[in-house]
Structure 1
Amino acid sequence: MDSEELNSIAGPDHCGWESAVMLHLGWPLGTVSRTSAQIRQYIRDPDQVIRYGVSGKVEIGVDLPPDAQDTGYRNGALELWLAESDPHAAFLRAGDEVERWPRADPVVACD
């Protein structure tokens, strides 16, 4: 898999965002992105250090929506799921544990 199809990075420390994780997913699903317009960005920010652009906060210990679909993307035991009923979130599942990561739109970046 190309890193421009799916990647995750720690938030940049020079902005004070090091406690956040940013997930970038080529969109539509499977796209190898060349620009920020071709990605969806989801953010895990439990300390809420990113103060703009994120549609909500991370939710831990949630249920997958009934229409959630497994994307097939994996990192060890971690699975990525998406749901049409909740287009502003990605769901990360490890075993029985599920987290809802909100989408940033437009893509969040710091200087």
Structure 2
Amino acid sequence: MNSIAGPDHCDWQSAVMMHLGWPLGTVSQSTAEIRQFIRDPDGIIGYGIHDKLAIATDLPDDARDTGYRNGELQLWLSPSDPDAAYLRAGDDVERWPRADPIVACR
């Protein structure tokens, strides 16, 4: 798992890209073993990602805590919403959409 700021040479620095080895916990060897989720509040990346981002939302009823943490930030996944990752900090929840295919700056 990693997260990176969008590259500034493409002017995507206000976006964040998170990559998870898939199935979760896999040490990926190729992009075929990765799921990418993007937080793009300014809509700079395109690809319909911005429209699927939810900054203030609720966890789905079937969401499960993955145990992945970065300080207070928790990663949750939902079987009923496989094209999203949910990031939770306290009572705040964001829904980050999956980019499929993976988005890369050229």
TM-score interval for Structure 1 and Structure 2 normalised by the shorter chain: over 0.9
Within 2, Cα distance between the matches of 1:48 and 1:81? Answer: 23
Counterparts of 2:50 and 2:62 in 1: how far apart (Å)?
Answer: 20
* Counterpart position of 1:17: 12
Q: Provide the TM-score with structure 2 as the length reference.
A: 0.96
SS state at 1:28 partner: coil
- The answer on whether the counterparts of 1:57 and 1:102 sit within 8 Å (CA) in structure 2 is yes
Letter in 1 for 2:6: G
Match of 2:34 in 1: 39
CA-atom RMSD, angstroms?
A: 1.2
**1:71 aligned residue:** 66
Percentage of pairs with the same residue: 72
1:25-64 counterparts in 2 under 5 A?
25-52=20-47, 54=49, 56-64=51-59
TM-score with structure 1 length normalisation?
A: 0.91
Partners of 2:29 and 2:79 lie apart in 1 by 24
Structure 2 stretches lacking a partner, 5+ long: none
- For 2:3, the equivalent position in structure 1 comes to 8
Regions of 4+ moved over 4 Å:
none
Structure 1 counterpart SS, 2:52: coil
Task: Give the direction of change, closer, same or farther, for the CA distance of 1:21–1:32 in structure 2 (3 Å limit).
Answer: same
Partners of 1:10 and 1:19 within 8 A in 2? yes
Contact 1:90-1:103 within 8 A present in 2 as well: yes
One-letter code of the match for 1:106? P
The answer for unaligned runs of 5 or more in structure 1 is 1-5
Match of residue 109 from structure 1: 104
Aligned residues: 106
